[in-house]
Amino acid sequence: MRAAVIVFPGSNRETDVVRALRRSGAQVDLVWHADHELPVGTDLAVLPGGFSYGDYLRCGAIAGRAAAMDAVRAHAGRGGLVLGICNGFQILCESGLLPGVLMRNINRRFICHRQTLRVERTDTRFTSAYQQGQVIDVCVAHGEGNYFVDPETLARVEGEGRVAFRYCDADGNVTVEANRNGSLNAIAGVLSERRNVLGMMPHPENFVEGLIGGTDGRGLFDSLAA
């Protein structure tokens, strides 16, 4: 598995995601946002978390039009894997690679806490190391993570089984309380039509070492590197 992590001005989680990918056995290159091409042989493009361009205009709006995103779009078009975490998810929505948009959290607060997620499907390149319905303990840290999409697209996304993760309580129940940013249908992670692109607000890369509090994030990187 060869991964390219795209670095934008204002990205700040690239080091963690590089570490998580290498831990699972991936070979990783860093790619600057102004580059027009991904390294030859790239299997997976990763858009890390952070505050690209200071969240100016809208979160992910300017990064979504960066030169490297043309390369990422072409990579996705060829069926290549793309993962966007937090700001990376916002960038994927803004660039048109995923449907919808991440709006301001419903409680108007920046939320930063441990968060349980329910794994909605395991027949994807991102989630195969998890069990169906498994509850995983990761983290969220965002001000704009409230997933919104028009009703027709939402029905299509749900109908096609493109929700990878939902916010849930510790027992796996999807509740209003567990969905603290107010996302439609408690969507925490969504897949593209061909299921080769995943965007998610939570940070699996935070929890790959027991020393730091948990290892439930490993499954995602192990799935990709498998």
Strand 81-85 with 44-47, pairing: parallel
- To other proteins, the closest distance from the beta carbon of 152 in angstroms equals 12
> 148 or 185, CB closer to other proteins?
148
106 sits near other proteins (criterion: CB under 8 A): yes
105 sits near other proteins (criterion: CB under 8 A): yes
Q: Is 3 in a helix, a strand, or coil?
A: strand
Binding mask 132-171 for other proteins (x = CB under 8 A): --------------x-xxx---------------------
Is 24:59 a contact under the CB 8 Å cutoff? no
Given 36, 78, 108, 113, the residue binding other proteins (CB under 8 A): 108
Q: Is 126 in a helix, a strand, or coil?
A: coil
> 99 or 219, CB closer to other proteins?
99
From residue 119, how far is each of 35, 43, 108 by CA, in Å?
A: 34, 23, 27
CA-based nearest residue to 129, from 195, 223, 25 = 223
- To other proteins, the closest distance from the beta carbon of 144 in angstroms equals 10
Residue with tokens 């060869």: 2
Active site residues: 86, 203, 205
Residues 72-101 that bind other proteins (CB under 8 A): 93-94, 99-101
Residue with tokens 């030169």: 67
183 sits near other proteins (criterion: CB under 8 A): no
Given 56, 70, 77, 107, the residue binding other proteins (CB under 8 A): 107
> 109 or 194, CB closer to other proteins?
109
CA-based nearest residue to 49, from 80, 7, 20 = 7
Strand ranges (DSSP E) for 51-191? 81-85, 101-103, 111-119, 135-142, 146-148, 163-167, 187-191
174 sits near other proteins (criterion: CB under 8 A): no
Q: Is 22 in a helix, a strand, or coil?
A: helix
Residue with tokens 């069926």: 79
> 50 or 99, CB closer to other proteins?
99
Chain residues in the site for other proteins (CB under 8 A)? 57-58, 61-62, 65, 93-94, 99-101, 103-108, 146, 148-150, 182
